[in-house]
A and B are shown apart, each in its own frame.
Chain A
Amino acid sequence: MKNSTVLLVDDNADLRKLVSKTLTCLGNWQVETAESGLAALQFLENHRPDLILMDVSMPQMDGVATINEINKRQQWRSIPIILITARVQIHEMNQYRHLPIAGVISKPFDPMKLPSQIQRLLEQWSPTGENLRVAISD
C-alpha cells in the first residue's frame, strides 16, 4: 500500500498539519486535507482516497452528519472511514455504534503509534462488517 491517499477532515488547522506530517513521515501516506464536512464532500466528487480520517466536532456539518452523507452514495461506501475525535465519553461513543465506520481513534493520540493504529483498524475492516472496534490511543 505505497503512497495510498488519506483524506483528513478536521476544522483545526494545527491538527491538520500535525496529522499530515505524522502520516507522511511515518506511514508513506499521501495526505489531502479538508477543513469541513462540506469541503470533504466536494473533494470526494473528483477524488477517491483510500481512507478518510474524520473529526466529529466541526461547525455546520459535523463528522456524524458527513458520514451519513457519504453513506448515501453507493460508490463512496467502500471507502473506509476512521473517526478521530476527543468526544469519547461513553454516551458519545454510543452515537457512533451504528455508523458504518472502521473504528474510532481517540484524541489525544500518540503520533508515533498513529500509523500502526490505523493499519490495525484497516485490517479488521470489511465494507459490509458493522463491528466497531475502538482503538485507545495509549
Chain B
Amino acid sequence: MIDNSQPLDFLENAPIALLQTDSSGNILRANQAARELLQTKIVNNEQTLKQLFSSPELGEEALLQLKNAGILKEFAAVFKTADGKLRHIVIDANISLNKQTGAEEYSFFMRDITASWLKQSQANAQFEITKVLVGATAIVDALGQICTTLCTLLSFEIGIVWRIDERANRMSRLVHKVVSETDKHDYLIARSVNVPLSLSTGFPATIWFNGKGKVYTDIEQYDTCFSEPASRITKTYPAVVAFPICIGNRIWGVISLLSTRATPISNELVTTLESIGYQIGNFVDRIEANEAYLKSQERYYVAITGSNDGIWDWDLVTNEVFYSPRYKSQLGFEENELANHFDTFRLLCHPDDYQEVMDKVQRHIDTKQPYEAEMRCRTKNGDYKWICARGQAIWNAQGRAIRMAGSHRDITELKAAEKTRREYEQRLLDSESMFRQLAENIREVFWIISARTDEFIYASPAFEELWLEGCDQLYKNKEVFFNPIIEDDRVRVRKALQGLMLGTDGQYGQGFDLEFRIETEDKEIRWIWSRVFPVLDKSGACDRLYGIAHDITEKKEVERRVSEFYSTVSHELRTPLTSIRAALGLIEGGMTGEISSETMEYVSIARDNSDRLIRLINDILDIRRLEANKLEMKIETVAPSQLLESTIDSLRAFAEERGVTVSFNLESQDRDIIGDRDRLMQVLTNLISNALKYTPRGGTVHVSSTNNGPNVKINVTDQGPGIAEEHMQGLFGLFQQLSCVENEFNTGSGLGLAISKALIEKLGGNIGAESRLGEGATFWFELPALESIEEQGANSTQTNCAPEEDREEEPALVLLMEDSDSIALILKTLITRTGYDCVRAANIAEAQTLAENKRPDLLFADINLPDGNGLDFVNWMHEKFAAQSIPVIVLSGAEANIGRVHHPELVDWIKKPFETEEILRLTKLRAKKLPRRLDTAKTTSTS
C-alpha cells in the first residue's frame, strides 16, 4: 500500500524551492524552501502566484507561457518577499495531472540568484561607466548618463549628483535623473538643490565628512537628512546609497542613488561604487584640465587680436625707415630716442635672429612670397620682447624693390600664453593617461599613496583579491599593505617606497620595479611584481606615489622550472659525453694500443667534434644565463700579465697543433684590473683561439696589453683573412660566423663573441674589433685599471686635511668591516671613488675601536669575521649609538637573515658576489651626508 504523504514529505523537505498552483495560478502548496525564500507563510488557496511577483504583469506572462508551451524554462523574475525585500529568481515549471482530482496542477521550481545577480550587475556597472567615461566630453552630460546607467543597472529610481564648492561650504546639485515614472520625488527634488555642508545636515553631507560610500538603511542611526528628521526621506526611499567622487584625496562631489522600492545593496556594491567614484573623479579632472586648456587658448587669441601694432616703412634706396610712435613705445622708447634709419633696427634686433630675418626679407623681395618673421627686439631697459613682423615690398617698373612697409606686433604675451597652453596640454595628457591606466588596467592592483600624509588614498578592487584585505582597511592603516609581505622582503619594500617619496635617490625619479613575496592566510607564498613611480609637484618634490602590481607566482614557477630543466639537460648531456670524450681521448692517446693512421684520423675527427659539442653546451648555458640575467660575477683584482700568461699557456697545445706561434708583450706596466678572473680567461681564450683558427700555418698571433687612459686594453691580433666591412656590424651578435671563411674553420658554436661581449660589458668594460679585408684582424677589450680608480679616491682624500671649523662640510665617513684584503681594497676604492671617506677594520675588535673614535655615518659589514659574527657587532653598534641610527649594508655570501638583527629597518643586505652599481647606489642612498664633489676636489688638488 502506497502512502500518499511520502512523496509530499519528500517535496516538503527538498532543498529546492517548490510551489504548486492550480491552472489559474492559485497557490495550492509551497514547500519549506519556498517559504524561506519568500519569507512568508503561504496559506493554501488564499494567495495567487501573481502576487509574489514584483509586477503582476510578469506573473501573468509566466502563467501564459506555461499554459501555451506546457513547460517554462529559466524564466527570470523578481519576487517581493514578505519583508519588502527583492529577490532575483529563476523559474522552471511544468504541468502535471493530479490523479485523485483529475485536475491540472502547475509546479514551479524556483532558484534564488540574487547574489550572483548583484555581482553581475556590479561588473556591468563598472563596464558601462568606463564606457560612458571614455566617450564623454562634458561633465554634466556624463554625470547624467552615469546616474541613468547606475539606476537602471542596479534597480534604483533616482540619481543625484552634488558638486562641492571650492571652499567646501555647500553642495549644489549638478544633475538629477529620474528613471521611474512616479511623482513621489517632488519633495526630494525640491530639497536637494542646495545643501549646506555641515555635519548636522546629515545625508548627503556625511559622505563628504567620511570620504566613503554609505548605505542609508538604518533609520535610527542616521537621524537627519537635509537637516530634517531622516524619516521624511527614508520613509519614501527604503534603499539609499551614496558615495564620493574623488580626485586623489580631494572630494569633488557626491552621488546618491535612491529607490522607493527595497532593492538589495551589498557591501561589495558600495566598494564598487567607491571605485567608480574614483574613476569619475579622474574623468572630471581630465575634463577640467581640458577646460582650463581651452581657456588658455582663448587668451592666446585675445593676445593675437587685441594688440596694437607698430608700423614701419623702409626706403630700400636710402635705407631710411619710418618707425611709428607705437613701434617705438612698444619697445619702451620715446619718439625722439630712435633714429629713423635702418641701423636702428639692426641694433635692436637680437643678433641671433637678425640673419634669419634678413634672409626672409631677401626671399620676399626675390620671390614675392608673403613676408612674416618672428624675432626678439631689445627694449629700452635691455630686455627682449618677441616681435612678429609682417610686410610687403613695392617693386618699380624694372622689377627692383624700392620700398618695404609693414607692422610689428608684440607677441611676448602670446609666446607666454603658448607656453602656458603647452603646460596645460601636458597636464591634460598626464591626467588622461592616468585615467586610461585606471580604466584599462582594472584587473591590476593599482594604488596611490599621498607623499604628504604617507597614507594610501586609493587602491583598486583587485588589491582585495591579492592581499585579502579590504581597501578601506588599507586607507585606515597602511600596514595592511606591508603586513602580508614576508619578513625578508618587507623592509626592502618599505625602504624603496620611502626612498621614492623622499626623493633620496635621483635615479628613482622615473620609478622602478619591485618584486616581493606575500604570504596568504594558508601560508602560501605568492610572488608579486610591482612598478612604482612618483608624481612630482611643481617644486620637484614627490606629491604622489603610484603603484601597480600583479601576481607573478606562476611566472616565477615557470622560471624556476626552466632553470631546473637547463641544469638537468646540462648534466644529462655531459655524462654520456664524458665517456665518449674519455674513450676517444684514450684511443687517440695510444693508451689502447697501436692503431692505423687512418683509424687515428677518424678518431681525431670524432674527438674534435665531441670537443665542439661540449663547447656548444657550455656556450648555450652561458647565453641562457646571460639572457636571464643570472650570470654572476666575482669582483677581484686581476693582473693582466698573469691573465695573459695562463691563458696562452692553456692554448699552447692548440697553437702547436695549428702550427701558429703566439707572442705577447705587456706595455701596460702590469696595472691591475678589476674583474672576474675565470670570466676574463674565458673571453681571452675565445679571442685567442679564434685568432689561432683564422691565422694560416706558420703565422703569428700577437697578444698585448696596453694602457688606454684609465683603462687597460688587451689586444689579440691575427694574420687571418681579415673581416669585410659589411661583416663588422653583426660580429658580436648571436650565432655569427663569417661566411667568407672556408668551411674547415667553421668549428665554433658562433656564440663565443656574443658571450664575450656580454661578459665584458657586465664587468664595466668595452670590447671591439678592427680589421680590413686581407690584412688580419685585431680583437680587443678594455677594463678600468684598479690604479686609476684608486687615484680618483686618493685625489679626493687629499682635501681631507680640512680645518676644524669645516667639519660640518665633511663627507660621510664609511666604516668598512671586512677581513678579506682584496675585497676591502675594492670596496674602499668604490667608496672613495663615490666621494666618501672610508676607514677599514679587518675584524670586530678593530671595528669597535674605530666606531667609538670616529663615529661612522655608514657601516659596511661582512658576516664571517675572524673574531665573531658581524651581525653581533651591528647590534652592538646600534645599541651603543642608538641616537645616530647608523645605516648598515651587510655583504654576505649567505641568504638574507634579517631576523638576527635588532634594527632591520637600518640594514640592507647585499649578496656576494656583489654588483658595483648596487654598492654605489646603496651607499649614496643610505649615507645621510652628501658625497664631496669629485671634480672640485680634483681642481683643488691640482692647483
| Residues in A whose Cβ lies below 8 Å from that of B577 | 107-108
Contact A18 B582, CB 8 Å, known A90-B632, A107-B575: yes
Residues of B within 8 A of A97 (CB): 893
| Partner pick for A108 among B574, B588, B621, B650, CB 8 A cutoff | B574
Task: Provide the bound-state CA to CA distance between A138 and B613, in Å.
Answer: 13
Could you mark each residue 568-602 of chain B with 1 if its beta carbon is under 8 Å from any beta carbon of chain A, else 0?
A: 00110011011111110110110110000000000
- B579 near A18 (CB under 8 angstroms)? yes
CB contact list, A1-53 vs B, under 8 A: 12, 14-15, 18-19, 21-22, 25-26
With A86-B570, A107-B578, A110-B581 as contacts: A26 and B614 at CB distance below 8 Å? no
Is the Cβ of A109 less than 8 Å from the Cβ of B581? Answer: yes
Interface contact B567-A89, CB-CB below 8 Å: yes
* A123 at the binding interface (Cβ < 8 Å): no
Query: A25 vs B621: C-alpha distance in the bound complex, in angstroms?
Result: 34
Partner of B611, one of A26, A112, A138: A138
Least Cβ distance of A105 to chain B in Å?
A: 11
Known: A12-B575, A108-B580. 7 other contacts (CB 8 A): A14-B583, A86-B574, A90-B631, A108-B574, A108-B614, A110-B581, A136-B678
Q: Which residue of A lies closest to B586 (CB)?
A: A111
B807 CB → nearest A CB, Å: 44
B571 touches A86 (CB 8 A): yes
Instruction: Report the minimum CB–CB distance from A94 to chain B (whole Å).
Output: 8
In the bound complex, CA of A86 to CA of B650 (Å): 21
Nearest chain A CB to B19 CB, angstrom units? 68
Q: Bound complex: CA of A15 vs CA of B570, how far in Å? A: 17
Q: Which residue of B lies closest to A14 (CB)?
A: B579
In the bound complex, CA of A87 to CA of B893 (Å): 20
- Nearest first, the 5 closest Cβ-Cβ pairs linking A and B are A86-B574, A111-B585, A18-B582, A108-B578, A107-B578
A57 — which chain B residues lie within 8 A by C-beta? 571
In the bound assembly, the distance between CA atoms of A34 and B611 in angstroms comes to 28
**Cβ contacts under 8 Å, B582 to chain A:** 15, 18-19, 22, 108-109, 111
Residue of A92, A97, A108, A134 with most partner-chain B CB within 10 A: A108
**Within 8 Å CB of B631, what residues of A?**
90
Q: Could you pull out 28 A-B pairs where Cβ atoms are within 8 angstroms?
A: A12-B575, A15-B578, A15-B582, A18-B582, A18-B583, A18-B586, A21-B592, A22-B585, A22-B586, A25-B591, A57-B571, A86-B570, A86-B575, A87-B567, A89-B567, A92-B567, A97-B893, A107-B574, A107-B578, A108-B582, A108-B614, A109-B581, A109-B582, A111-B582, A111-B585, A112-B588, A112-B589, A134-B678
> Contacts of B579 on A, CB cut-off 8 Å?
12, 14-15, 18
CB B495 to nearest CB in A, in angstroms, measures 27
Residues of A within 8 Å of B571, CB to CB, are 57, 86-87
Nearest residue (CB) in A for B685 is: A138
Which residue of B has the minimal Cβ distance to A98? B893
CB distance from A56 to the nearest CB of B (A): 9
Chain A residues near B (Cβ < 8 Å): 12, 14-15, 18-19, 21-22, 25-26, 57, 86-87, 89-90, 92, 97, 107-112, 134, 136, 138
Contact pattern, B 34-66, Cβ under 8 Å of A = 1, otherwise 0: 000000000000000000000000000000000
Give CA–CA (A92, B577) in the complex, Å.
19
CB distance from B826 to the nearest CB of A (A): 19
- Taking the closest CB of chain B, its distance from the CB of A122, in whole angstroms, is 19
Rounded to whole angstroms, the CA-CA distance of A57 and B591 in the bound complex is 28
Residues of A contacting B575 with CB < 8 Å?
12, 86, 107
Across the two chains, which residue of chain B brings its CB closest to A12? B575
Neighbouring A residues of B610 by C-beta, 8 Å: 108
> A12 vs B582: C-alpha distance in the bound complex, in angstroms?
13
Complex CA gap A19/B621 in Å reads 26
Question: In the complex the two chains form, what is the Cα distance from A111 to B582 in whole Å?
Answer: 5
C-alpha spacing A97/B579, complex, angstroms: 26
What is the distance, in angstroms, from B759's C-beta to the closest C-beta of chain A? 13
Could you tell me if A86 and B567 are in contact, using CB atoms closer than 8 angstroms?
no
Which chain A residues border B621 with CB–CB below 8 Å?
89
Note all chain B residues with C-beta closer than 8 A to A26: 589, 591
CB distance from A117 to the nearest CB of B (A): 11
Chain A residue with the shortest CB-CB distance to B572: A86
Report the nearest A residue to B585, measured CB to CB: A111
CA distance A111 to B587 in the complex (A): 10
Across the interface, name the chain B residue whose C-beta is closest to A86. B574
The CA-CA distance from A130 to B623 in the complex, in Å, is 31
Q: Closest CB of chain B to A61's CB: distance in Å?
A: 18
Q: Which of B595-631 contact A (CB under 8 A)?
A: 610-611, 614, 621, 625, 631
Q: Are A110 and B578 in contact (CB under 8 A)?
A: no
- Interface pair B585/A110, CB less than 8 Å apart: yes
Task: Name which residue of chain A comes closest to B573, CB basis.
Answer: A86
Contact B578 A21 (CB under 8 A): no
Cβ of B632: which chain A residues have Cβ within 8 Å of it?
90
Q: How far is the CA of A14 from the CA of B576 in the complex (A)?
A: 9
CB pair A86 B578 closer than 8 Å: yes
Question: CB-defined interface of B140-168 with A at 8 Å, one 1/0 digit per residue?
Answer: 00000000000000000000000000000
Q: How far is the CA of A108 from the CA of B567 in the complex (A)?
A: 15
- Which residues of B211-238 have CB atoms within 8 Å of chain A's CB atoms? none
CB neighbours (8 Å) of A15 from chain B are: 578-579, 582
Whole-angstrom distance between the alpha carbons of A25 and B582 in the complex? 13
Q: Which residues of A contact B625 (CB under 8 A)?
A: 90
